Amino acid sequence: MSLGYLVGTAEITAALGVIATLGYLAYQISQTNRIAKSTVASDLMQKYNEFLAVVLANSEISKLASKLTDFGVCARARRRSR
């Protein structure tokens, strides 16, 4: 075995290591993005549930929310019928 052969083998091994590392890093980034999206969706649902709890706890706010929701439905129906 010559020195050139050993250097070439070391360079190929190093290149394969870099490729494997980049593949693993891409996988980790993908998983991190999934976790972040899931966390945001969960937080959004929690805030919405808290909002609904406040609305349902107060009858006046519930009536107002109902009117606003009904108005939104009616406005969309009017836009569709044009």
- The predicted model scores a pTM of 0.57
Through-space distance between the first and last CA atoms of the chain, rounded to whole angstroms: 84
- What pLDDT is recorded for position 11? 96
As a whole number of angstroms, the distance between CA 54 and CA 66 comes to 14
- What pLDDT is recorded for position 34? 97
pLDDT digits 0-9 by tens, 6-24 = 999 999 999 999 999 999 9
Any idea which residue has 């190093």 for tokens?
A: 14
Q: List, as one string, the DSSP characters of 28-60.
A: HHHHHHHHHHHHHHHHHHHHHHHHHHHHHH-HH
pLDDT tens sequence for the chain (82 residues):
788 889 999 999 999 999 999 999 999 999 999 999 999 999 999 999 998 898 889 888 888 877 777 665 555 666 666 6
